[in-house]
Amino acid sequence: MSFVAEFCRRMRSFRFPGLRILIASLLLFIFALPAYAQETIVYVGRLPLNLRTGPGPAFPSAAELQPGEALAVTGQSGGWLNVTRLATGETGWVNRNYVTGSAPAVAPPPGAAAAPNQVAVGRLPLNLRTGPGPSYPRLAELPPGEVLTVIARAGTWLNVTRAATGETGWAHGDYVTGAVPAVSALPVAAPVPASPAPPPDAPPVPESSSTPNAIVSDGPLNFREGPGKNYRVILRLPTGQSLTILSESGAWANVQLPSGMQGWVMIQYITQVDAATAAASCRAGDVLANVHHPQRLTVFDPCVTATGTVTEITRNPDGDLTFRLALDPAYTYLLNDGNRNVLRGYLQIEIVPADQPLVAEPALGAHVTVTGAYVLDTEYGWMEIHPAWFVGP
């Protein structure tokens, strides 16, 4: 017996005609819904939409989907679609009444002008950059289906505003869908903005880095792709990280790390050091080669220079000559909470036995310059210059 015949037979068995009509109407409505093939791409409509753990409003919400977000349909159950978020890979269920088969025109943020020239990101994530070219720093990664308002263009690159957030940048026109307006159709008030010159290609890592002439004095410090807070943060540099200053631009310094990586930091958070003294005393290779317990030490900088007054000279059982340095104000950035709380604000200095024939033993109360490896003693929690390779006036 066919499904339709069996359905009709069972419907005739109901005693209440009104109930038969109601059930039949509901079933016909469900079957009348358009079927989505698996892997069909749909888009969240003009309002945020809950991504749920199951096909119904009683299931918990796993995430809130944003207007215009692209979803891949992998299954369906009644009026609910099992979907995968193309931007994150997260899966769940959405009500099919709140998605659309094409990227919707999302309303701009409150207070913003309406945007007539809208396109959408295609099937792949797209980089939003600070300028019209692949060498400009990346601002964000745009998910598939996100709606953008075109305000200017330069060749194949589009100056766009994200409809959902208001963020502005540049995206490649070959990776968006929708009608890209001609130059003459763009608002006159939004010409192609002047952009910073593209940064040069990353330099090769040198065989030996240049001698550091600065150090991070107040970390963690943002290490950025360009001279401004709108540029992407590449790394966060710890206090004590050595740097080589290459150039300056206003409040920003273009610096190079010992690895050869270049970036920008704010000048106010770094301190210049005596490069000549460091160059004369720094050593290549394993800076902890002659240390008794190297596993206790974490190297923050293979070579630093500091000045201060000698206090508390002692000789350890392992033979190290130890003294503490009351640092001059310019070098107090070398201290951490362990130095301030346990060592009363002094920096620990240690000259290992292998270096004692080469390094002068200082006099108590002398004002000296010290050069050596800047390390954290993980057992005690304070910073040290250990080993010290130069102690002099």
Q: Where exactly are the structural domains of the chain?
A: 3-32, 41-100, 118-185, 214-272, 281-392
pLDDT given at position 263: 87
Average the pLDDT over 245-261 and give the result: 82
Per-residue model confidence as pLDDT tens digits over 61-74: 888 887 777 788 88
Per-residue model confidence as pLDDT tens digits over 356-392: 877 878 899 998 889 899 999 988 889 999 999 888 7
- CA atoms within a 13 Å half-sphere pointing along the CA-CB vector of 158: 27
Per-residue model confidence as pLDDT tens digits over 159-188: 888 877 778 888 887 778 765 554 434 433
Whether pLDDT at 219 is above 90:
no
Pick the CATH number of 281-392 from 2.40.50.140, 2.60.40.10, 3.40.50.300, 3.30.465.10: 2.40.50.140
Alpha-carbon gap, residue 173 to 162, rounded angstroms = 14
Average the pLDDT over 312-338 and give the result: 88
pLDDT given at position 196: 40
Fold match, 41-100 / 214-272: yes
Which of residues 301 and 88 earns the better pLDDT score?
301
Residues whose CB is less than 8 angstroms from the CB of residue 1 and which lie 6 or more positions away in sequence, other chains included: 9
Tell me the CATH number for domain 41-100. 2.30.30.40
Whether pLDDT at 349 is above 90:
yes
Which of residues 6 and 48 earns the better pLDDT score?
48
Between the alpha carbon of residue 83 and those of residues 74, 228, 253, the distances in Å are 5, 40, 47
Asked whether 269 and 366 are in contact (CB, 8 A), the reply is no
Alpha-carbon gap, residue 156 to 142, rounded angstroms = 18
Per-residue model confidence as pLDDT tens digits over 106-146: 444 444 444 457 888 877 778 888 877 776 778 888 888 88
Biggest alpha carbon–alpha carbon distance for the chain: 109
Between the alpha carbon of residue 171 and those of residues 47, 125, 187, 232, 320, the distances in Å are 25, 11, 18, 16, 60
Q: What band does 225 get if pLDDT is binned at 50, 70 and 90?
A: confident
The whole-chain average pLDDT of the chain stands at 75
pLDDT given at position 57: 86
pLDDT given at position 32: 43
Tell me the CATH number for domain 214-272. 2.30.30.40
CATH superfamily name and code, 118-185: SH3 Domains (2.30.30.40)
